Amino acid sequence: MNSPTSDAPLRFSIPKPALQLLRTLEAAGHETFLVGGCVRDLLRGQAPKDYDIATRALPEQVRACFSRVIPTGIQHGTVMVLLGGMSFEVTTYRSEGGYVDGRRPSVVHFHATIEEDLSRRDFTINAMAYNPLKERWVDPWGGREDLERGYVRCVGDALQRFSEDGLRAIRAIRFATTLDFELDMSTQEAIPQRLDIFAKVAIERTREEFLKLLSSPHAQRGLDLLLTTGLLRVFFPEAMRADFARATRPPNLLPRLALLLAGVSKPQAALQRLKFSNKILNTVLHLMKLQPLPPLEASDTRLRRWLSRAKLEHWEDALSTGEALERREQSLDKRMRALLAQNPTLSMDKLALRGDDIGLILGIPPGPKIGKATRFLFEKVLENPGLNSTEALSQLLRNWNK
Ligand code: ATP
Ligand code: MG
């Protein structure tokens, strides 16, 4: 069992509440460690997103040690401890029984050791434990070395691990992508052999891993790996023919998703199958509907008209989608920003005259003519934003009515 050195370069100091939590459990006689992603991130000199804790204490014993505990997954041995403004998942050491459906272990055994707990974890780089109070490292699978060499490698036999839980296949590629690591050869080779197990994974779990991959600066490589290993065909065949270099040109997630779906006949059906939230689904379809972009030489009026359709919160994503789609060398970004800096009126409800004002001026009751007049005025204001005043619009309206 090789232990990494205790003078590891932990550039991010571990937050006080995490240390306090460890101290409390240790003082009550329960062996406790930081585990998983946070240990990996600390060793890489990255600030962990959260601190997961593994302990020999049973959930009830953990509860007894703290005043604010939420029993989030008590049957799996997990409770959430709220301490010092932070929250921690504290999980009792587990070892797992067989997997019946390729998804979840059929039984979970407590009373395990930290080494057993680490053995059930997916990759060597995720299977390390660290106790900063005792400066004690537990790294039975050589995670430290793989981290230094930049390898994602299964704990134990890759084929077997991917048979137990199909999600691990896409997680392997997700970590290789986000960390920009290599996939260990036997890990990579096992993926295509267990597509049947991967296909059984709940789509929501797969989708979450996919979104993390697609958000990465190295997403192009991740997509290539998903394609060559066969995973993409299983959960997102619509994206197989996309140009991955083009699709990952925008830095943001939703334009990337829209670009993966460019040219797909039923993008909505694909997004629904992946069970994306309505918000994501509608935004992606919106980005697609805003294509093609106005040409580079388009008038200011035309750009304002497009901005008005795009909406303030989406125009940048719509623009980066289109510029990638059309492989433009030059961007409309500066012009759009300059136009927006003038604070133009981009929606009808910002007109200086409302529907009832228009009705009064024209002396007509509510009806379709008011809508028509509003659209006329809005078009005038898109052409010349300076016209959006009560006087100027009233004048225009009277002329229009003649
Ligand atoms: P991230 O920073 O992306 O959250 P993480 O390592 O914290 O990375 P999580 O998905 O939060 O990843 O999982 C926490 C830990 O639980 C992992 O580090 C790993 O040890 C273990 N783990 C998670 N999913 C699995 C799985 N499907 N099979 C085995 N172990 C897993
Ligand atoms: Mg995590």
- CA dist 116 and 356 (Å) reads 73
Tell me which residue of 154, 161, 173 sits closest to 102, measured CA to CA. 161
What ligand 1 atom has the least distance to the C-alpha of 174?
Answer: 3
pLDDT above 80 for 104:
no
Determine how β-strand 86-92 pairs with β-strand 95-96: unpaired
At 187-196, the pLDDT tens digits run: 999 999 999 9
Average pLDDT over residues 271-295: 98
Instruction: Answer yes or no: is the C-beta of 305 below 6 A from any ligand 1 atom.
Output: no
Lowest mean pLDDT segment, chosen from 108-117, 140-149, 178-187, 246-255: 108-117
Distance from the Cα of residue 79 to its chain's centroid: 25
At 184-219, the pLDDT tens digits run: 999 999 999 999 999 999 999 999 999 999 999 999
Interval between CA 303 and ligand 1 midpoint (Å): 46
95 pLDDT band (50/70/90 cuts)?
Answer: confident
pLDDT of residue 6: 44
Q: Which two three-digit tokens encode residue 296?
A: 């580079």
Q: What percent of the chain has pLDDT over 70?
A: 94
275 pLDDT band (50/70/90 cuts)?
Answer: very high
| Terminal Cα distance for the chain, rounded | 91
Instruction: Answer yes or no: is the C-beta of 165 below 6 A from any ligand 1 atom.
Output: yes
Interval between CA 358 and ligand 2 midpoint (Å): 57
pLDDT of residue 13: 84
What ligand 1 atom has the least distance to the C-alpha of 41?
Answer: 2
Interval between CA 203 and ligand 2 midpoint (Å): 19
Burial class of residue 296 in the structure, from the number of CB atoms within 10 Å of its CB (0-12 exposed, 13-18 middle, 19+ buried): exposed
Rounded to whole angstroms, what are the CA distances from 24 to 20, 56, 86, 235?
6, 13, 15, 44
105 pLDDT band (50/70/90 cuts)?
Answer: low
What ligand 1 atom has the least distance to the C-alpha of 38?
Answer: 7
Are 356 and 315 spatial neighbours (Cβ–Cβ below 8 Å)? no
pLDDT of residue 293: 98
pLDDT above 70 for 98:
no
pLDDT of residue 3: 45
* Residues with C-beta atoms within 5 A of ion ligand 2: 37
At 127-153, the pLDDT tens digits run: 999 999 999 999 999 999 999 999 999
pLDDT above 80 for 12:
no
pLDDT above 70 for 10:
no
pLDDT of residue 107: 66
- CA dist 172 and 230 (Å) reads 13
Q: What is the DSSP string of 154-178?
A: BSS-HHHHHHH-THHHHHHHHHHHH
**Amino acid symbol at 199:** A
Residue from 78, 126, 130, 178 whose mutation best tests the ligand 1 pocket (most atoms within 8 A of CB) = 126
Residue nearest to atom 27 of ligand 1 (CA): 168
pLDDT of residue 97: 66
What ligand 1 atom has the least distance to the C-alpha of 127?
Answer: 20
pLDDT above 60 for 243:
yes
74 pLDDT band (50/70/90 cuts)?
Answer: confident
At 315-368, the pLDDT tens digits run: 999 999 999 999 999 999 999 999 999 999 999 999 999 999 999 999 999 999
Average pLDDT over residues 177-188: 98
Q: Which two three-digit tokens encode residue 304?
A: 């304002």
Mean of pLDDT over the chain: 94
Lowest mean pLDDT segment, chosen from 39-43, 73-77, 96-100: 96-100
